[in-house]
Amino acid sequence: MDRVHLTEWLGGYERAWRTRGTDALRGLFTEDATYSTAPYEKPHRGLDAIAEMWEAERLGPDEDFEMTREIVAVEEDTAVAKIEVHYGAPKGTAYRDLWIVKLNDEGLCFHFEEWPFWPTDQDGAPAAGAD
């Protein structure tokens, strides 16, 4: 993995969030990928579990938000990116997040881990971990 491949993957993630359904996740994650929404949260395991969490957490493909990203580090199959998201109505919230992303040789993510942070004057919580 390099910064170019990670930039492409991050763009694909944002496009998938803005796309109806979850079919686009097949171009981002492996079938057996793990996705943790916060440190110490039990990860969602497998593409079906990730898709279920994905649909539960977003308002839909028309959700109003702006996302910025900055690549912090890339080494071998692992990268760290700083993400900032500002949601419009009805959420009206913002957060910063560190993403740890591990990509295989085909450019698919097999491990995704979020470290989200909210402003002190805003309630926030990561998506519930897997059952």
pLDDT digits (tens, 9 = 90+) for 29-79: 999 999 999 988 999 999 999 999 999 988 888 889 999 999 999 999 999
Query: Are the C-beta atoms of 105 and 91 separated by less than 8 Å?
Result: no
| Strand pairing report for 65-75 and 109-117 | unpaired
Task: State whether residue 20 is helix, strand or coil.
Answer: coil
Encoded tokens for 112 = 């995704």
The whole-number pLDDT of residue 18 equals 92
Cross-strand pairs, 116: 97
pLDDT of residue 88: 87
pLDDT at 121: 73
User: Does the pLDDT at position 24 exceed 90?
Assistant: yes
Question: Where residue 22 falls among pLDDT bands split at 50, 70, 90?
Answer: very high
The CATH T-level fold of domain 3-117 is Nuclear Transport Factor 2; Chain: A, (3.10.450)
- Which among 59, 66, 61, 119 has a CA at the least distance from the CA of 90? 59
Please tell me the pTM assigned to this model. Answer: 0.89
